[in-house]
Homo-oligomer: A and B are copies of this chain.
Amino acid sequence: MLQGNAVIAQSGGPTAVINSSVCGAVQTWLAAENRPGTIYAAISGIKGFFDEDLLDLSAQPAEAIAGLRWTPGAGLFSCRYKVSEEEYPRLVEICQKYNIRYFFYNGGNDSMDTCNKMSLAAEKLGYEMRVIGIPKTVDNDLPITDHCPGFASAAKYLAATVMETGIDLASVATKNKVCIIEAMGRNAGWLTAAAALAKRTPDEAPHLIYLPEVPFDTEQFLRDVQVVYDRLGYCFVVASEGIMDKDGNYIAADGRVDAFGHAQLSGAGETLKNLVEERLGLKARCNTLGTAQRSAMHFASKTDADEAYATGVRAVELALAGKSGLMITLNREPGEEYRCTLGEAPLSSVANVEKKVPREWVNAEGNYVTDDFIKYCRPLIEGEVAVPMRGGLPDYVALNMQLGRVQK
């Protein structure tokens, strides 16, 4: 077995279960027989790695590592940082300095690109390393894998919120007429589409769903809302923050100016709300759930949390078995019953590739998803996580950043 230490880091926007993966990886590493070294966290992702900001995770109490499994946010802190080509040799240098031979990066498309390039740089410099990507993203836009850890928990929370606020809207329709929820997902509409899981009977919310994959037409949108309103007396809309017109302009940027004459970027949902009020004369409201969607561990999917943990476990197992240059994937097995196994894909095949909602999973009108999407998505949100509670609120943990801090 290749002797040396490991490093694990997180990148990009957190998910409810991003730390479940870290928990799985770290517990597996620390429990491995004859483990070849210790495991560090690079605090604040690859940026922290450049700063040699390392924490020896073997110094943390076992309960803190275990508690990460049920704690949202990036437990190791995250960053958004694009590594330039010239910087990769420096990353390998740092690995050499701390005798790091195992590198685990928990992130989305960009992070898989980082992993891939780091792996290639190490090879070029003749430094033997194992590099494994652990997928995470509420956007669900990584290729090859059936779905991404983090997506389903956001989907479950969003669908429950659409169900609850949909029931609320229907019950007070004498006042508010149109409710709009703006969902996360700038380029891919997976999460927005998952709002459809809330609908159990034809008249229930949501009534209209708009994804960034389909060009948004303002006039068609207004007609769509009017049709639903004429039938039911109210209308519930879910729109992605990233919807854009046929020329690729974000609907969110609507040319408004503030009191000082500066152009204002209001959100897509807020823009649709104003359109409905001004053009249709219907009282509307917009709920912008924002980061609540990616951090609602209090209502996470157990399926998702367990799969996220399993990807972390598998990443360490594969690396210790000598594999490298891979991202862990979730493979859905054929059959009526949902069953998911772990697989792997070369980092080069996932880096920077974005998987969007296929057009055939959106209806012809472009304003709702099809049953095939529902069939794909439904099993992923099954099961509830029993988060430890204290004083009526989740008992989330944080690592002690003074324990095991590495001296540069």
Contacts and interface: CB of A to CB of B under 8 A. Distances in A.
B393 A381 contact: yes
B266 A255 contact: no
A293 to B, nearest CB: 9
A168 B288 contact: no
A350 interface: no
A370 interface: no
A292 interface: yes
Given A290-B286, A392-B383, A80 B255 contact: no
A78 B291 CA distance: 31
A185 interface: no
Interface in A148-175: 156, 159-161, 163-165, 167-175
5 closest cross-chain pairs (CB), A and B = A287-B290, A73-B167, A381-B392, A74-B171, A164-B295
Contact of A392 (B78, B156, B174, B179): B156
Given A160-B393, A289-B289, A381-B391, 16 more contacts: A13-B172, A16-B164, A72-B167, A72-B168, A73-B164, A74-B172, A80-B174, A159-B392, A160-B298, A164-B296, A165-B292, A197-B393, A287-B288, A287-B289, A288-B288, A383-B392
Contacts of A260: 278
B175 A396 contact: no
Interface string A1-31: 0000000000001101000000000000000
A398 B201 CA distance: 11
A113 interface: no
Contacts of A266: 266, 270
B47 A174 contact: yes
A264 interface: yes
Interface of A: 13-14, 16, 44, 47, 71-75, 77-81, 156, 159-161, 163-165, 167-175, 179, 197-198, 254-260, 262, 264, 266, 270, 274, 278, 285-292, 294-299, 301, 378, 381-384, 389, 391-394, 396, 398
A291 B394 contact: no
A262 to B, nearest CB: 7
Contacts of A77: 170-174
B171 A73 contact: yes
22 contacts: A13-B172, A73-B168, A73-B172, A80-B172, A81-B174, A156-B393, A163-B396, A164-B292, A164-B298, A167-B396, A167-B398, A168-B291, A168-B294, A197-B392, A197-B393, A198-B393, A256-B258, A258-B274, A258-B278, A270-B270, A288-B288, A301-B392
Contacts of A47: 174
Residue among A71, A168, A170 having the largest count of chain B Cβ atoms under 10 Å: A168
Given A174-B44, A382-B392, A393-B159, A167 B71 contact: yes
A135 to B, nearest CB: 18
B172 A14 contact: yes
Nearest to A379: B392
Contacts of A163: 393-394, 396
A318 to B, nearest CB: 26
Nearest to A74: B171
B288 A292 contact: no
A295 B167 contact: yes
Nearest to A377: B392
B274 A264 contact: yes
Q: Of residues A44, A77, A292, A301, which shows the largest number of chain B Cβ atoms within 10 Å of its Cβ?
A: A292
